[in-house]
Chains A and B, each alone.
Chain A
Amino acid sequence: MEDLAKQAIDHAQKLGAEFADVRMESAAGIIIVVMDGKTKTLNVSRESGCGIRAFSGGAWGFATTNILTQASVKAAAASAAKMARAARAKAKVKFEISGVKAVRAREEYRTKERAADVPTEEKLAFAMSQDKVMRDMDKRITSTNTRYEDFEAERVVANSFGTLTVTVERWLIGTCLAWAKSDGIVQRGHANSGSVGGYELMRNEVSQNLGKTAAEQAIRLLDSTPPPAGKFTVILDNKMTGMLAHEAFGHACEADGILAGASVLEGKVGEMVGAEGVSMVDDPTVKNTFGYFSYDWEGVKARKHVLIENGELKGYLHNLESGSRMGLGSNGAARSQAYNSPPIIRMSNTYIGPGDWKKEELFEGLKYGLLIQGSQYGYVEPAKGQFMFKCDEAYEIRDGEAGQRFRDASISGVILEVLKKVDALADDFVLTDPGYCGKSGQEARTTDGGPHVRVKDMVVGGMS
């Protein structure tokens, strides 16, 4: 694949590209879905192909092929170069891709037990066993769903500055969903466990208890009610703090949004955007996480990004383009879903740093508020400066004590205000919540986390 990649770059340059890069991939994966004790989906996919980008003047051409022959790859390179030339003529903003250091590296994600070597029957047995745990736990469990997925790819990234990185990427994730019913009320619980690495992950305690965790949550939620609507002081658990970091702030720190004039954080570096003591980091180098990578999808070495330090905005996440245009260089945040998607700026492992409060102290003296636990989903519009995220469960707090259980509370806020409303951070930091982040039609594996934090005046969406 390395030779084909080099040929594609040479060909694009011969046809006028000022800069060219290639992501070439050969990948395989399996998805197993068990529903209500029976296999629903057994899906094996094999993918190979390459995506070629050519840059000219201020615009990009991007072409893909999933036929890895010299002729097909050269044709894609020619197509990318042609489109870049045509786009250049229409580009109003002119710039160069500059300051790129050639990187030569090979990395294979380490595993104790390569998932591809584990028989399908064993993976299926794992999924069936977790599904059974859910169904056996309580007669109120009415339906179950267990999903196991693993993926392995060899990816070559090469560019016209001489970069050539080869990454053998391996990751896997298991998810359990349980539905419980009582007195006409249906509730759902879920749990997941995912990381780069090998099948050893499915043998650890968290993975072995996925079914139990999901079923317990579904049962627990049966006596919940919809939350009240209004403005409250909330205490976010580790997962929801991670969601806050990711949705409320992380996306607005992506420099492609800054260049697009579509982020309220444009021009705010050096300004206070959070309360003192609030720090926020995106770090793809944290090992054994779902968001881990060592070289990004443009071949730049990954590094830790301190986005907020003690309340002050320190910088953005960059790729080669934004790094060139802002004169800062890439800090290794470019990712592609696969060879057939162009690299864009993405988060990885995103978290808010710990404080020095004990978790219990966050509750003390709080006359009325809500404890918000477990993340379902969230989204943000950085140009509108608004975000929302939805939790699994919430608890009313009266005089420091958690009481009535609520479900499905949605929390909304304003990007430039929310971190200034953080008035206490606990010391119980956990980077815990693996999942997928969607942007521009592409998914990226990520992990979110942080400590319990207390935030004033959050708008909670409810039905009562």
Chain B
Amino acid sequence: MVDLVELAERTVKSVMKLGPSDCDVIVTNSTYYTAEIEKGSMKQSSAFKDPGVGVRAFVNGCAGFSSCTGHDLASIQKVAEQAVALARSGTPDEDFKGLPLKAKPTKVAGLFEKRVAELEPADVVDMAISLAESAGLDKRIYSVNATVSAGSGEVALANSNGFWGVQKLTSFDAMAETVAKSGSKMFSGVDGCWSRRTEPKMLDSVANEAREHAIMGLRQTKVNTGEYPVIIDPLSVGFILGSTIGGGLNAESIQRKRSFLAGRLGETIGSEKLTIHDDPTLEWGNGSFAFDGEGVPARRKTVIDKGKLTTYLYDSYTAGKDAVSSTGNSSRGGAMWTFRRPPSISSSNIVVRKGDASIDEMIKDTRSGIYLRLTFDYPNMATGEFSGLMMESFKIEKGELGPSIRQSTMGISMLDLFSRIDMVGKKSREAFGVRTPAMRISRAKIGGSG
């Protein structure tokens, strides 16, 4: 069994002998099991073993990165030489002020669950079958497709400032797509869960949501183009905020003036009801870690406080450029981290503060409006304008949830969306790396086919 920290530290020494000013090394060893169900039948059981090493070296501020699969020492030496050679071939960059100093990783609960790590492929298959069976419990359900994935592994990181850290990580996620049919009408319901652990009712919740929304979607209508209040389901809040916070508050985009949020630090950009944290210490959060992708200890930070923008998301490079401290938002990609790419800035777990309204109260309070459950669109980060398809949405009439709407779009600037939040739900869920309740915005432009 390879000692990943020892290998990372040894590689740092090998790299530094080649003459760069700084370097960091990531060593990973991960295993994933997945099971896929197709139309209710077991389809594929998979096992992935993925050890690897990534080396980043700096010469005159320029970074070179190289990676290889496996832990073979000869390959690692080639990667080290390649990274340094690449760093020498690039342009000098005086904005690079150095990698993070040695620091003690934060103690974070809920990064690793033994139960997930001990799952065998057959266990994952049983979970996927159970998910699909539960999602299909209605005679109108025509097909259920489902996937369950479990990952476990170890990540070691070391740098030339003496930092070293190792963290054991697990991840568990599941998705279900349930297709309902009635006559010529067909609709699908989609739901998923993302965590570092398994919880007893996780899969039931995914199955129930996917099944119920497929059936709800069979009643269909159109909507006329116009302005409506919109209740945004946590699933859509998660998708939209995941890209807006991760991309729009990324200090790289801010410094290069590519984000609509550049120059707005300290300004009120949203409703008093909007408070958002970036929290890598969230217990069992899929984006949680003890240290970030460059070795900075994890810490929770408020990014929007009652509508006021309070910080951008920094890694060591952008922090050095702005003469501030890194916020610990350097990411090595995904819940289980990868050796294949150099680190980049990302949010960890985005947490939206809960309000006091139930979904039922929000719907009842909306005389004529829209319930947006699912979109896979994101805003134009330069302008902050959002214009996207409401993939799954429902009409609200006289305070009641009505039929699903076919072929409709929503258009709004993100600053208007933030400012027009007038109700926030009291129940949160995980959605695409965001723990959030539902929100209502007082109005948005809806393009309809009615």
Residues of chain A whose beta carbon lies under 8 Å from any beta carbon of chain B:
35-49, 58-67, 76, 79-80, 82-84, 86-88, 90-93, 120-121, 124, 128, 142-143, 179, 181, 185-188, 226-227, 229-231, 256, 259-262, 264, 340, 342, 379, 381, 383-388, 390, 407-410, 412-414, 457, 459-464
Interchain CB contact under 8 A, B46 and A342? yes
Cβ contact of A45, chosen from B66, B406, B409, cutoff 8 A: B66
Cβ contact of A87, chosen from B40, B42, B391, B407, cutoff 8 A: B42
Shortest Cβ distance from residue A304 to the other chain B in the assembled complex, whole angstroms: 28
Interchain CB contact under 8 A, A231 and B225? yes
Q: Does B62 contact A (CB under 8 A)?
A: yes
Interchain CB contact under 8 A, A412 and B125? no
7 nearest A-B pairs in the assembled complex, by CB-CB distance: A461-B409, A261-B143, A39-B90, A229-B447, A388-B389, A383-B188, A66-B69
Shortest Cβ distance from residue A305 to the other chain B in the assembled complex, whole angstroms: 22
Q: A410 to chain B: which residues have CB within 8 Å?
A: 377, 387-389, 409
* Bound-state Cα–Cα, A287 to B410, Å: 40
Cβ contact of B121, chosen from A83, A120, A128, A384, cutoff 8 A: A83
Q: List 12 A-B contacts (CB under 8 A).
A: A43-B67, A45-B68, A46-B67, A49-B69, A66-B50, A67-B69, A260-B38, A262-B179, A264-B186, A340-B50, A390-B377, A462-B445
Interchain CB contact under 8 A, B382 and A186? yes
Query: With A63-B46, A87-B42, A262-B145 given, is the CB distance from A386 to B406 under 8 Å?
Result: yes
Query: With A461-B409, A462-B387 given, is the CB distance from A63 to B47 under 8 Å?
Result: yes
Q: Chain A residue with minimal CB distance to B450?
A: A231
* Bound-state Cα–Cα, A399 to B68, Å: 59
Q: Does B5 contact A (CB under 8 A)?
A: no
* Bound-state Cα–Cα, A264 to B180, Å: 12
Q: Chain A residue with minimal CB distance to B121?
A: A83
Interchain CB contact under 8 A, A408 and B75? no
* Bound-state Cα–Cα, A87 to B43, Å: 7
Interchain CB contact under 8 A, A463 and B385? yes
Q: Does B285 contact A (CB under 8 A)?
A: no
Residues in B72-91 with C-beta less than 8 Å from chain A: 72, 75, 78-79, 82-83, 85-87, 89-91
Interchain CB contact under 8 A, B39 and A259? yes
Q: B89 to chain A: which residues have CB within 8 Å?
A: 42, 120-121, 124
Cβ contact of A62, chosen from B44, B186, B190, B448, cutoff 8 A: B44
Shortest Cβ distance from residue A223 to the other chain B in the assembled complex, whole angstroms: 13
Q: Does B369 contact A (CB under 8 A)?
A: no
Beyond A40-B63, A383-B188, 15 additional pairs, beta carbon < 8 A: A46-B69, A46-B75, A47-B68, A59-B41, A86-B121, A87-B35, A91-B42, A120-B86, A230-B448, A231-B447, A262-B177, A340-B50, A384-B186, A388-B389, A412-B389
Cβ contact of B447, chosen from A264, A408, A461, cutoff 8 A: A461
Cβ contact of A61, chosen from B38, B45, B51, cutoff 8 A: B45
Cβ contact of B44, chosen from A61, A67, A82, A142, cutoff 8 A: A61
* Bound-state Cα–Cα, A386 to B139, Å: 24
Q: Does B65 contact A (CB under 8 A)?
A: yes
> Which segment of B154-162, B253-261, B275-283, B353-361 sits at the interface?
B253-261
Q: Chain B residue with minimal CB distance to A457?
A: B449
Q: A61 to chain B: which residues have CB within 8 Å?
A: 44-46
Q: B342 to chain A: which residues have CB within 8 Å?
A: 41, 43
Q: Chain A residue with minimal CB distance to B225?
A: A230
Q: A49 to chain B: which residues have CB within 8 Å?
A: 69
Q: Chain B residue with minimal CB distance to A94?
A: B41
* Bound-state Cα–Cα, A340 to B190, Å: 26
Q: Chain A residue with minimal CB distance to B71?
A: A67
Interchain CB contact under 8 A, B69 and A47? yes
Interchain CB contact under 8 A, B385 and A261? no
Q: A87 to chain B: which residues have CB within 8 Å?
A: 35, 42-45, 125
Shortest Cβ distance from residue A312 to the other chain B in the assembled complex, whole angstroms: 19
Q: Does B192 contact A (CB under 8 A)?
A: no
Cβ contact of B45, chosen from A84, A381, A457, cutoff 8 A: A84
Shortest Cβ distance from residue A192 to the other chain B in the assembled complex, whole angstroms: 18
Cβ contact of A412, chosen from B121, B126, B257, B409, cutoff 8 A: B409
Q: Chain B residue with minimal CB distance to A266?
A: B186
Query: With A46-B79, A259-B39 given, is the CB distance from A408 to B46 under 8 Å?
Result: no
Query: With A42-B87, A45-B66 given, is the CB distance from A459 to B382 under 8 Å?
Result: no
* Bound-state Cα–Cα, A82 to B66, Å: 35
Q: A45 to chain B: which residues have CB within 8 Å?
A: 66-68, 340
* Bound-state Cα–Cα, A412 to B390, Å: 9
* Bound-state Cα–Cα, A60 to B42, Å: 9
Query: With A42-B90, A66-B70, A229-B409 given, is the CB distance from A383 to B177 under 8 Å?
Result: yes
Interchain CB contact under 8 A, A90 and B42? yes
Interchain CB contact under 8 A, A64 and B67? no
Interchain CB contact under 8 A, A91 and B43? yes
Shortest Cβ distance from residue A325 to the other chain B in the assembled complex, whole angstroms: 11
Interchain CB contact under 8 A, A463 and B377? no
Q: Chain A residue with minimal CB distance to B120?
A: A86
Cβ contact of A143, chosen from B87, B91, B187, B256, cutoff 8 A: B256
Q: Does B383 contact A (CB under 8 A)?
A: yes
* Bound-state Cα–Cα, A80 to B44, Å: 10
* Bound-state Cα–Cα, A463 to B411, Å: 5
Q: Chain A residue with minimal CB distance to B186?
A: A264
* Bound-state Cα–Cα, A87 to B82, Å: 43
Q: Does B167 contact A (CB under 8 A)?
A: no
Shortest Cβ distance from residue B256 to the other chain A in the assembled complex, whole angstroms: 4
